[in-house]
Amino acid sequence: MNASLRHVMVVLLGCFVLLFVQLNRIQVLQADELAANGFNTRQARRDFGLPRATILSSDGIVIAMSEPTGAAEGFQNRRLYPFADLYAHSVGYVSFGRNSDGVELTYSEEILGRTAPRLTELADLIDQTPDPGTVVLTLDHGLQQTAKEALGDRTGSVVAMDPQTGAILALYSFPSFDPNPLADTNIGSANAAFSELLEADGNPLRARAYRDIKFPGSTFKVITAAAGLEHNLVTIEEPVFPETDSYTPPLTTAAIRNFDGGPCGGDLAQLLVRSCNTAFAELAAETLGPEIMVNQAEAAGFNNVPPFDLPGSVASVFPALDTFGAQLQEPNEIRPAGLYENTPKLAQASIGQNDVAATPLQMALMIAGVANDGVIPIPHVLAEVRDVEGDVIDTFDVGDGWRQSMEPENAANLAAALIEADEVGGAASVDGLEIGVKTGTAQLGTDPPRTHAWIVGFAGRPGEDPQIAVAVLVEGQEGSADQTGGGVAGPIARDLFIEFFDSAEG
């Protein structure tokens, strides 16, 4: 029997060797794959309870922090957002079992302290949990609060930035939401809160400022004007467009009228001041043509996703060249733009209607370019990352900006025209500041009529470079003569300028 005994023993030991092989497969070979499995919550649970870096505004206000829960098992820390909905669309949130958003997502490694140099102390050899330091943002708390107060409970967005560096000074959309329940360590409560937000009216989770595109309306005329200047087809002073109260593009009978139904004309500077639809439409349809318009829009960032350091930002849209149809007539003396199948579409697009749609962020970038010698900066909310000792370990590299939208000379001329526009129109004027604006009232074509009220602008002290560029959108206003971009959005921009320069002084 001993021979058979030996056989059985060998088989049984062989079975154990098989187990050993499989154990190696699972624990070593497949380890990474298993860790990434969607049902595996171990790493997620570990990460969720880690202490996270405190997030500060540029003026040192704590806008996100981690607080120990004191629990023996389970999550050791929870995330708190002291200002609730004020920073929801910028700082974002962490929530167990779902993707984070905002700064919490983009800079999650920095926030978890994983980018800091390790092993600063011998104790770090034993306790490998990184000590998160601080993340400082470019957002100015005072300005952010002003934005929220000024917008009130009207659906819309406010974006304010430094036109030279792209640092975002304020970023707020309404409706917003309180991210604190989402970060709850009680997962059931967090999930309930999330479901509630998904079903809430007005889609509060949506960061309209950089994820929603809307008709820009007359604010787009800055780009149309820039297109003319860049290609030397117009100057600030010539030609002078005739006073007319309507313009009918070729190939259509639908006339384009000015906002108040009255006549409008003048040189480019005056056209911007008075915001003439007729002249700009004519300029684009007859002189500029689709290719130049597409190029200028894209030079300003349209059809590109801005290199924004918050996740999920979307590209603003200007119709592609082929949507304007085939060329029907070559450019000639009478119509330098040439004639295209969809020239009427181009006329509409030039005044920010038809298929043109932009995020408030994009419009802020556009106007920042005007204020910054034509250079559109890289928008960012991160200022710097500090380690637990307070030493700066990373700052945002602004580089040479995002793109050159136009020549500095053209930018300067446009800026001057917009400054005059504000002096004349008074949409956002403040004593002692040099402010340039372009208002916009985008027709939504609904019945009863509704419009998006826009204003884009910049401000600086006389003789100095502008230090702040803004875009304000108040959506879906009841259409009536008073509800223009200037009337509704202008005061918000004005409040921002006052707050910015007040706090700069005080």
Partner 1 sequence: MQARNLELSLLVLGTVITVVAYGLLSVADGAEVRAQIVIFFVIILLLLLGAHVVVRNTAPNADGLLLPLAALLNGLGYVMIARIDIPKETDLAVSQSAWTFIGVGAFSATLLLIPDLKKFANYRYSLGLLGVGLLMTPLIPGLGVNINGAQIWLRAGPFSIQPGEFAKIVLAAFLAGYLVEKRELLALSNRRLGPLNFPDLKHFGPLLLALVIALLVMVTQRDLGSSLLFFTLFLVMIYIATGRTAYVATGLSLFMVGSFVSWRLFSHVQTRVTQWFSPFDIGPGEQIAEASFALADGGITGRGLGEGTPQRIPFAETDMIFAAVGEELGLLGATVVLAAFMFFVSSGFRVAATVNAPFEKLLAAGLTALIGFQAFIIIGGVLRVLPLTGVTLPYMSYGGSSLISNYIILALLIRISDSTPVADKQPALVDSTS
Q: Is the peptide bond before 448 cis (omega within 30 degrees of 0)?
A: yes
Q: Does 129 bind partner 1 (CB under 8 A)?
A: no
Locus of tokens 């959108």: 473
Q: Does 4 bind partner 1 (CB under 8 A)?
A: yes
Q: Which is nearer to partner 1, 45 or 450 (CB)?
A: 45
Q: Does 20 bind partner 1 (CB under 8 A)?
A: yes
Coil/strand/helix, residue 108: helix
Identify the DSSP state of 210.
H
Q: Which is nearer to partner 1, 68 or 408 (CB)?
A: 68
Identify the DSSP state of 357.
B
Given the DSSP bridges, would you call strands 403-404 and 327-329 parallel, antiparallel or unpaired?
Answer: unpaired
Q: Does 24 bind partner 1 (CB under 8 A)?
A: yes
Q: Which is nearer to partner 1, 7 or 118 (CB)?
A: 7
Q: Which is nearer to partner 1, 14 or 242 (CB)?
A: 14
Q: Which is nearer to partner 1, 49 or 319 (CB)?
A: 49
Coil/strand/helix, residue 367: helix
Q: Does 13 bind partner 1 (CB under 8 A)?
A: yes
- For residue 125, the minimal CB distance to partner 1 (Å) is 14
User: In the numeric block, which tokens belong to residue 487?
Assistant: 């009337």
Q: Which is nearer to partner 1, 81 or 194 (CB)?
A: 194
SS3 content of the chain, % helix, strand, coil (to 5): 40, 20, 40
- Which range binds partner 1 by CB under 8 A, 6-14, 198-206, 296-304, 309-317? 6-14
Q: Does 238 bind partner 1 (CB under 8 A)?
A: no
- For residue 185, the minimal CB distance to partner 1 (Å) is 15
Q: Does 2 bind partner 1 (CB under 8 A)?
A: yes
Q: Which is nearer to partner 1, 7 or 114 (CB)?
A: 7
- Which range binds partner 1 by CB under 8 A, 10-18, 213-221, 246-254, 262-270? 10-18
Cα radius of gyration (the chain): 28
For partner 1, how many residues bind (rule: CB under 8 A)? 38
Binding to partner 1 in span 25-44, by CB under 8 A = 26-28, 30-35, 37, 39-43
Does residue 195 have an active-site annotation?
no
Burial of residue 179 (number of CB atoms within 10 Å: 0-12, 13-18, 19+): buried
Binding to partner 1 in span 74-113, by CB under 8 A = 74
Q: Does 124 bind partner 1 (CB under 8 A)?
A: no
Q: CB neighbours of 84 closer than 8 A, spacing ≥ 6?
A: 178, 179, 180
Binding mask 43-62 for partner 1 (x = CB under 8 A): x-x-----------------
Q: Does 23 bind partner 1 (CB under 8 A)?
A: yes
- Which range binds partner 1 by CB under 8 A, 17-25, 144-152, 159-167, 435-443? 17-25
Q: Does 3 bind partner 1 (CB under 8 A)?
A: yes
Q: Which is nearer to partner 1, 32 or 464 (CB)?
A: 32
Q: Does 329 bind partner 1 (CB under 8 A)?
A: no
- For residue 18, the minimal CB distance to partner 1 (Å) is 6
Q: CB neighbours of 311 closer than 8 A, spacing ≥ 6?
A: 101, 102, 105, 106
State the CB neighbour count (10 A cutoff) for residue 67: 10
- For residue 181, the minimal CB distance to partner 1 (Å) is 23
Half-sphere exposure of 334 (CA within 13 A, CB side): 4
Alpha carbon of residue 322 to chain centroid: 27
Is the sign of the CA dihedral 96, 101, 102, 104 positive or negative? positive
Q: Which of 218, 313, 316, 405 is catalytic?
A: 218
Q: CB neighbours of 332 closer than 8 A, spacing ≥ 6?
A: 338
Q: Are the beta carbons of 382 and 425 closer than 8 angstroms?
A: no
User: In the numeric block, which tokens belong to residue 129?
Assistant: 């949990």
- What is the four-CA torsion angle of 44, 64, 310, 149, rounded to 10 degrees? 140
List 62's β-bridge partners, or say none: 56
Residue ranges that bind partner 1, judged by CB under 8 A: 1-9, 12-13, 15-16, 18-20, 22-24, 26-28, 30-35, 37, 39-43, 45, 72-74
Residues belonging to the active site: 218
